[in-house]
Protein backbone atom coordinates (compact mmCIF):
# COMPACT_ATOMS: atom_id res chain seq x y z
CA UNK A 1 0.00 0.00 0.00
CA UNK A 2 1.37 3.42 -1.00
CA UNK A 3 1.76 6.34 1.33
CA UNK A 4 -1.38 8.50 1.52
CA UNK A 5 0.71 11.72 1.55
CA UNK A 6 3.20 12.26 -1.27
CA UNK A 7 4.40 15.76 -0.35
CA UNK A 8 7.10 16.25 2.23
CA UNK A 9 5.94 17.87 5.48
CA UNK A 10 6.97 21.47 4.78
CA UNK A 11 5.75 22.75 8.15
CA UNK A 12 7.84 20.14 9.97
CA UNK A 13 10.89 20.88 7.80
CA UNK A 14 10.56 24.58 8.62
CA UNK A 15 10.38 23.76 12.35
CA UNK A 16 13.46 21.55 12.03
CA UNK A 17 15.30 24.29 10.13
CA UNK A 18 14.29 26.81 12.81
CA UNK A 19 15.72 24.53 15.48
CA UNK A 20 18.89 24.08 13.41
CA UNK A 21 19.29 27.87 13.41
CA UNK A 22 18.24 28.51 17.02
CA UNK A 23 20.65 25.98 18.50
CA UNK A 24 23.37 28.40 17.39
CA UNK A 25 21.85 31.35 19.25
CA UNK A 26 20.11 29.84 22.27
CA UNK A 27 23.25 29.71 24.41
CA UNK A 28 23.91 33.42 23.75
CA UNK A 29 20.40 34.26 24.91
CA UNK A 30 20.61 31.95 27.94
CA UNK A 31 23.97 33.46 28.90
CA UNK A 32 22.30 36.88 28.99
CA UNK A 33 19.25 35.63 30.90
CA UNK A 34 16.81 35.86 27.99
CA UNK A 35 14.28 33.42 26.64
CA UNK A 36 13.76 32.99 22.91
CA UNK A 37 10.39 34.73 23.16
CA UNK A 38 11.86 37.68 25.04
CA UNK A 39 14.57 38.04 22.40
CA UNK A 40 12.01 37.83 19.58
CA UNK A 41 10.01 40.63 21.20
CA UNK A 42 13.09 42.80 21.76
CA UNK A 43 14.36 42.17 18.24
CA UNK A 44 10.95 42.88 16.70
CA UNK A 45 10.56 46.20 18.51
CA UNK A 46 14.15 47.14 17.70
CA UNK A 47 13.92 46.11 14.02
CA UNK A 48 10.43 47.41 13.30
CA UNK A 49 10.63 50.70 15.14
CA UNK A 50 9.38 51.34 18.58
CA UNK A 51 7.01 51.47 20.23
CA UNK A 52 4.78 48.70 18.89
CA UNK A 53 1.25 47.77 19.82
CA UNK A 54 0.75 44.37 21.43
CA UNK A 55 -1.19 43.02 18.43
CA UNK A 56 1.73 44.01 16.16
CA UNK A 57 4.14 42.10 18.38
CA UNK A 58 1.81 39.07 18.32
CA UNK A 59 1.67 39.18 14.52
CA UNK A 60 5.39 39.79 14.03
CA UNK A 61 6.65 37.28 16.60
CA UNK A 62 3.90 34.67 16.16
CA UNK A 63 3.18 34.62 19.87
CA UNK A 64 -0.43 34.14 20.93
CA UNK A 65 -1.91 37.07 22.84
CA UNK A 66 -2.38 35.21 26.17
CA UNK A 67 1.25 34.03 26.03
CA UNK A 68 2.50 37.48 25.06
CA UNK A 69 0.76 38.98 28.10
CA UNK A 70 2.87 36.78 30.37
CA UNK A 71 6.06 37.39 28.40
CA UNK A 72 5.56 41.16 28.54
CA UNK A 73 4.72 41.07 32.27
CA UNK A 74 8.01 39.25 32.97
CA UNK A 75 9.90 41.61 30.65
CA UNK A 76 8.40 44.60 32.44
CA UNK A 77 9.50 43.13 35.81
CA UNK A 78 13.00 42.71 34.32
CA UNK A 79 12.83 46.34 33.14
CA UNK A 80 13.25 45.29 29.50
CA UNK A 81 10.05 46.94 28.24
CA UNK A 82 7.68 49.72 29.19
CA UNK A 83 3.96 49.36 28.49
CA UNK A 84 1.83 52.46 28.20
CA UNK A 85 -1.77 53.01 27.19
CA UNK A 86 -2.43 55.29 24.22
CA UNK A 87 -3.86 58.61 25.46
CA UNK A 88 -6.52 58.75 22.74
CA UNK A 89 -7.59 55.10 23.10
CA UNK A 90 -7.09 53.44 26.48
CA UNK A 91 -7.68 49.99 24.95
CA UNK A 92 -4.44 50.24 22.98
CA UNK A 93 -1.13 49.48 24.68
CA UNK A 94 2.22 50.52 23.27
CA UNK A 95 5.30 48.50 24.16
CA UNK A 96 8.70 50.18 24.05
CA UNK A 97 12.21 49.05 24.81
CA UNK A 98 13.86 50.50 27.89
CA UNK A 99 17.34 52.03 27.88
CA UNK A 100 18.49 48.83 29.61
CA UNK A 101 17.11 46.54 26.92
CA UNK A 102 18.61 48.71 24.17
CA UNK A 103 21.98 48.42 25.96
CA UNK A 104 21.49 44.66 26.22
CA UNK A 105 20.78 44.45 22.48
CA UNK A 106 23.98 46.41 21.79
CA UNK A 107 25.91 44.03 24.09
CA UNK A 108 24.48 40.91 22.45
CA UNK A 109 24.68 42.20 18.86
CA UNK A 110 28.38 41.40 18.25
CA UNK A 111 27.85 37.83 19.47
CA UNK A 112 24.74 37.39 17.32
CA UNK A 113 26.50 38.85 14.27
CA UNK A 114 29.51 36.58 14.84
CA UNK A 115 27.22 33.57 15.18
CA UNK A 116 25.50 34.48 11.89
CA UNK A 117 28.95 34.68 10.27
CA UNK A 118 29.79 31.26 11.74
CA UNK A 119 26.49 29.92 10.40
CA UNK A 120 27.38 31.19 6.92
CA UNK A 121 30.81 29.55 7.13
CA UNK A 122 29.34 26.27 8.36
CA UNK A 123 26.38 26.10 5.98
CA UNK A 124 27.85 28.08 3.11
CA UNK A 125 27.14 31.71 2.28
CA UNK A 126 25.24 30.73 -0.88
CA UNK A 127 23.04 28.29 1.04
CA UNK A 128 22.16 30.90 3.65
CA UNK A 129 21.57 33.62 1.02
CA UNK A 130 19.41 31.25 -1.06
CA UNK A 131 17.42 30.33 2.04
CA UNK A 132 16.82 34.02 2.83
CA UNK A 133 15.75 34.63 -0.79
CA UNK A 134 13.41 31.62 -0.86
CA UNK A 135 11.83 32.57 2.47
CA UNK A 136 11.42 36.20 1.38
CA UNK A 137 9.65 35.08 -1.82
CA UNK A 138 7.50 32.60 0.10
CA UNK A 139 6.46 35.20 2.68
CA UNK A 140 5.87 37.88 0.04
CA UNK A 141 3.28 35.65 -1.64
CA UNK A 142 1.67 34.51 1.62
CA UNK A 143 -1.80 33.24 0.82
CA UNK A 144 -2.39 35.47 -2.22
CA UNK A 145 -1.75 32.77 -4.82
CA UNK A 146 -2.75 29.71 -2.82
CA UNK A 147 -6.22 28.32 -3.35
CA UNK A 148 -7.71 26.65 -0.28
CA UNK A 149 -9.22 23.17 -0.57
CA UNK A 150 -12.96 22.75 -0.14
CA UNK A 151 -13.84 20.99 3.10
CA UNK A 152 -16.72 18.57 3.50
CA UNK A 153 -19.82 19.74 5.33
CA UNK A 154 -19.03 17.50 8.30
CA UNK A 155 -15.55 16.85 9.69
CA UNK A 156 -14.21 13.31 9.52
CA UNK A 157 -13.16 13.09 13.19
CA UNK A 158 -14.50 9.61 13.68
CA UNK A 159 -12.65 7.99 10.74
CA UNK A 160 -9.79 6.69 12.90
CA UNK A 161 -12.13 5.32 15.57
CA UNK A 162 -14.39 3.64 13.02
CA UNK A 163 -11.47 2.04 11.20
CA UNK A 164 -10.20 0.55 14.51
CA UNK A 165 -13.53 -1.19 15.09
CA UNK A 166 -13.40 -3.09 11.80
> pLDDT by residue (tens digit) across 25-65?
999 999 999 999 999 999 999 998 879 999 999 999 999 99
The Cα–Cα gap between 143 and 22 comes to 26
Strands (DSSP E) along the chain, which ranges?
52-53, 81-86, 89-97
The total of structural domains in the chain comes to 1
Domain that holds residue 94: 35-112
Q: Is residue 126 part of a domain?
A: no
- Whether 84 is in a domain gets the answer yes
Banded model confidence at residue 141, pLDDT cuts 50, 70, 90: confident
b/e code 66-97 from CB counts within 10 Å (16+ = b) = eebeebbeebeeeebbbeeeeeeeeeebebeb
Residue 129 lies in a domain: no
pTM beyond 0.75 = yes
Residue 116 and residue 131 in contact, taking contact as beta carbons nearer than 8 Å: no
121 domain residue, yes or no: no
CATH at residue 54: 1.10.10.10
Amino acid sequence: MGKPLKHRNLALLLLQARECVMVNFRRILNHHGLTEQQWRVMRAISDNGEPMEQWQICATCHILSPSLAGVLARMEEMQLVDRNRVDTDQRRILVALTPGSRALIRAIAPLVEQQYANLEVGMGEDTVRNLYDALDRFLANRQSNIELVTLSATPRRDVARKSKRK
